[in-house]
Amino acid sequence: MPKILDWRKTEDPRDVIHTAVQALAEGHLVAFPNDGHYIVAASGLRGQAISKLKPLTVSNHTHPGPHAFLMMRSIHEVQDYCPKLSEVAIRIGQRCWPGPVDLVLEDMPGENLIRSLPNETRELILGTDNLFGVSCPRHEAVQQVARLTAGPLIIAPVFRAIPSIPKIAERGSQSPKADHENFELATETSHIPEEVAFVVDSGLIERQGPSTLVRVQGNRCEVLREGLMTIENLSASTSFTILLVCTGNTCRSPMAEVMLRSKLNIRVASQGSILDAASASVDIHSKSQAASNKISAPAPENQNDYFTFRVISAGVSAQPGGPASDGAMLAMQERGLNLQDHQSRTISQGLLERSDLILTMTSNHRQAILSRWPQVIAKTFCLAPTGVDVSDPYGGPVEAYRKCAVRIDQFLDAWINQLNTDLFPTWIKI
């Protein structure tokens, strides 16, 4: 029987960590709590540990994808094993890890750390399809253990066999026996198999279920198994996000927002059906008009396809919740666009870090952002390619707003022409 390491009651959590690290180094298996279920870990450098782990993964034959995963501490560590990791895969890892999202990647030819793993480990994680899985569990115990363990950890979900109801025996036959062809995820320490040496007990796993399994090839994201994180949440949180910034977020940046969204809808519609993830939770299947700009976005031909990008705006000195100015609404209405539902927002660190491209109306706006958040310098630019400021029409006549919109429109076209839509994830649910 596995020995219990009680994470909640230990006086010093380091004792639990050191016990687990030592056990793994000696070739034992250790189980940890994870989002939704328990996982079992083995040292990727210990052949005897992999031999113990392999039979436990065989019982996972009813579930798609890899049965054992390389544990990663961050998405950047994945690049050591997959040097040509796509920008979309990196974005998923940055925004969803640690958490219940596992990625399936292709083992590409060339030098990478997979080649340096023992044969037993490579055979277990690669199988015959040349694909491998990576996972980043959330629990603090396994995160700390991974940091202190030499080489990678190989992890797998823990399943327990559930006896099926035996069939009624025919006359003259032997008494029927229950088989063990059904399996469910282990959610209690009592479910952990005896092959495991230690199990870290962190209490009740309240939200139970499998991780979401996503195969990523370039910008194509194929959901092999939908689990604790839904495809709607994934597509919303990993969409390519463009942030437009001005001062009060009532004139220039709101106009730029709806114009850019309209242009992107038109451009990407020629490459395949796509919808703007304009809200945190968007109904990708809807055939209604795209949110907030009244431009029709065609519905996907395959109703299981999800295509996402996001365009938002904010101000460096905005009062949250304010409407767009009357002049901006009228100028956009003349273009068939709608600002009636706009609510101003101010920039924040979280908003900036979740954005993939930040375009400011003036050089002063850019400087105001970088003076507080210099870490976003690589993705923050002036809207005008030459750095020319877009003048504020606030308080002026409608004609000033029209001229401002024309100027913004021209600058947006320059960005549209150089924007790589391969950065927009394409979500496919099988």
Q: What is the pLDDT of residues 16-57, one digit of tens each?
A: 999 999 999 999 999 999 999 999 999 999 999 999 999 998
Q: Is the pLDDT of residue 393 over 80?
A: yes
Strand partners, 69: 133, 155
The one-character DSSP state at 346 is B
pLDDT (0 to 100) of residue 167: 55
- What pLDDT score does 248 carry? 97
What local confidence, expressed as pLDDT, does residue 177 receive?
47
* DSSP secondary structure, 158-201, as one string: -EEEEPPPPPPPPTTSPPP-----EEEE--SGGGS-TT-SEEEE
Condensed to tens digits (0 to 9), the pLDDT of residues 357-384 reads 999 999 999 999 999 999 999 999 999 9
Mind listing the pLDDT tens digit for each residue in 279-306? 333 333 222 233 333 222 333 334 444 5
Inform me whether the pLDDT recorded for 157 exceeds 60. Answer: yes
How far is Cα of residue 58 from the mean position of the Cα atoms in its chain? 28
At residue 386 the predicted structure's pLDDT band, cuts being 50, 70 and 90, is confident
47: which residues sit within 8 A by CB, 6+ positions away?
118, 120, 121
Q: What is the mean pLDDT of residues 391-403?
A: 96
pLDDT band at 108 (very low <50, low <70, confident <90, very high): confident
Q: How far is CA 126 from CA 53, 104, 109, in A?
A: 15, 10, 13
- Give me 264's structure tokens: 């992107």
Sorted by sequence, the CB contacts under 8 Å of residue 263 that are 6+ apart come out as 412, 413, 416
CATH code that applies to domain 3-229: 3.90.870.10
Higher local confidence (pLDDT), 235 or 127: 235
CA distance 299 to 347: 32
C-alpha span between 46 and 8 (Å, rounded): 29
Question: How many angstroms separate the CA atoms of 54 and 340, rounded?
Answer: 59
pLDDT at 255 over 50: yes
> Does residue 397 surpass a pLDDT of 80?
yes
- The whole-number pLDDT of residue 110 equals 82
pLDDT of residue 165: 59
**pLDDT value at position 430?**
78
Assess contact for 154 and 121: CB atoms under 8 A: yes
Query: In the chain, which residues fall in CATH 3.40.50.2300?
Result: 237-424
Alpha-carbon distance 304 to 194, whole Å? 41
Contact 193, 104 (CB under 8 A): no
Return the minimum-mean-pLDDT range out of 13-17, 180-184, 411-415.
Answer: 180-184
Structure confidence at residue 283 (pLDDT): 31
Query: Looking at the predicted structure, is the pLDDT value of residue 159 above 60?
Result: yes
Q: Is the pLDDT of residue 260 over 70?
A: yes
Cα–Cα dist 222/233, whole Å? 14
Q: How far apart are CA 313 and CA 360, in angstroms?
A: 10
DSSP state of 317: T
In terms of Cβ atoms closer than 10 Å to its own Cβ (0-12, 13-18, 19+), residue 347 is buried
Residue 259: other Cβ atoms inside 10 A: 22
CATH number for region 237-424: 3.40.50.2300
Mean pLDDT over each residue of the chain, to the nearest integer: 87
Which of 237, 293, 214, 264 has its CA nearest to residue 421? Answer: 264
Q: What is the pLDDT of residue 350?
A: 95
pLDDT-wise least confident of 36-40, 167-171, 351-355, 397-401: 167-171
pLDDT of residue 306: 57
For the chain, residues classed under CATH 3.90.870.10 are: 3-229
pLDDT of 273 > 70? The answer is: no
> To the nearest whole percent, how much of the chain has pLDDT over 70?
85
